[in-house]
Amino acid sequence: MALFVFDIDAEGRAHEGALDRDVPEGHWRWVHFDLAAPGTVARVGQLVSDEAAEILVQPETRPRYLALGETLILILRGANFNPGQKADDMVSLRLWAGPELVVTLRNRPIFAVRDLQGELEAGRLIPGGPGELVAELTERLVDRIEQVSLRLDDQVDEIEVAILEPDCPPDVLAPLPELRRASIRLLRYLRPQSETLRKLEARPPGGFALPQDEIRESANRAQRALEELDAVHQRLGALADHQYAQKADQLSRNGYGLSVVAAIFLPLGFVTGLFGMNVGGLPFDATPWGFVIVCLGMAVSVILVLLVLRLLRLI
């Protein structure tokens, strides 16, 4: 079963349709499927060619565009705004469009499709035919990707400002690993998606009317979002380098402190070890002032070590 079927007249007004009914004269149809629903693969195979069906129902997809005569296949990714899921865990929209039919499939709910469905049910018009629907879905997917990109950019701005504050909290860089993973996941699909939209703009299928201005604008915005994400990824890398440098500096300071302490106590350890030997002939063992003399000697040795370290500018 399809999630919804719209029969859209020449004025762009959508009417509820059904797969078991023919498309009314003068209308074109939009069918939206849940790929995980039973019978979807077989039903899609009845609506489009075998070659197109094989591409649309693949379990793993990446953004791509393919022109098949007067039809096109467009596979895009969108930000994931489903409850309890991460926005960078992108959802896939598979689309086949011809002059009188548009078929879309999804694995998980896509807010861009859901919102457009609600607007069509409320009376919104799509007078430009299937090409305008393709452009509208593309624009909405890019809109949401831009939102996620700007949110990441704002988070990085906050971290960069916080680390420059004198009272910077110690856990300010704690979100850094997750932000880097998010940027990597987004770039994985946004880079080929930008290329896909450029190809759609440059080589639309013959006989299929696409609003080129809208496609061009979506391609430009996708490219801009890609560039912003690239910049965010590089800034996150710089912040990670800063974090590693801080840790290395802290370890270096700790190691230096331990080295100074070891240098101070090295002669003391030698003296205590020497006087701790249980043999005859040790100095001061026959005088009651022996312990005091040894202690004063160790104090003098500490002072001498500190002076030497100071002269060598090691402390």
pLDDT digits (tens, 9 = 90+) for 274-288: 777 777 777 777 778
Superfamily of the domain at 4-246: CorA soluble domain-like (3.30.460.20)
Q: State the average pLDDT over residues 130-158.
A: 94
Compute the chain's Rg from CA coordinates: 35
Do 284 and 271 form a contact (C-beta atoms < 8 A)?
no
Containing H/E element for 159? Answer: helix 130-163
pLDDT higher than threshold 80 for residue 290: no
Is the pTM higher than 0.85? The answer reads no
Percent of the chain exceeding pLDDT 70 equals 99
pLDDT higher than threshold 80 for residue 92: yes
Instruction: Name the token pair of 273.
Output: 């070890």
Cα separation values, 145 from 3, 56, 67, 274, Å:
24, 22, 25, 73
Which contacts of 190-193 are long-range, i.e. CB under 8 A and separated by 24 or more positions?
Answer: 190/77, 190/145, 190/222, 190/225, 190/226, 190/229, 191/226, 192/62, 192/63, 192/64, 193/63, 193/76, 193/77, 193/222
Q: What 3-state class would DSSP assign to 23?
A: coil
Q: What 3-state class would DSSP assign to 301?
A: helix
Q: Which pLDDT tens digit goes with each residue over 36-54?
A: 899 999 999 999 999 999 9
pLDDT recorded at residue 115: 95
Q: How many CB atoms lie within 10 A of CB 76?
A: 30
pLDDT recorded at residue 242: 74
Instruction: Name the token pair of 291.
Output: 């312990």
pLDDT recorded at residue 96: 96
Strand-pair partners of 67: 72
Give the domain ranges of the chain: 4-246, 277-311
Do 98 and 70 form a contact (C-beta atoms < 8 A)?
yes
Q: Which pLDDT tens digit goes with each residue over 60-76?
A: 899 999 998 889 999 99
**Biggest alpha carbon distance in the chain?**
123
Q: How far apart are CA 66 and CA 72, in angstroms?
A: 6
Who's near 103: CB < 8 A, 6+ residues apart? 31, 33, 44, 47, 48, 56, 95, 96, 97
Strand-pair partners of 96: 73, 103
Q: State the average pLDDT over residues 16-24.
A: 92
pLDDT band of 184, cuts 50, 70, 90:
very high
Average pLDDT in the chain = 88
Q: State the average pLDDT over residues 197-204.
A: 92
Q: How far apart are CA 201 and CA 218, in angstroms?
A: 9
pLDDT band of 169, cuts 50, 70, 90:
confident
pLDDT recorded at residue 269: 81
pLDDT recorded at residue 69: 86
pLDDT recorded at residue 104: 97
Better-predicted residue by pLDDT, 165 or 194: 194
Q: State the average pLDDT over residues 294-312.
A: 81
pLDDT recorded at residue 229: 93
pLDDT recorded at residue 139: 96
Instruction: Give the single-character DSSP code of 205.
Output: P
Pick from 200, 216, 243: nearest CA to 75 = 200
Q: State the average pLDDT over residues 73-95.
A: 94
pLDDT higher than threshold 80 for residue 106: yes
Q: How far apart are CA 100 and CA 225, in angstroms?
A: 32
pLDDT band of 176, cuts 50, 70, 90:
confident
Do 236 and 179 form a contact (C-beta atoms < 8 A)?
yes
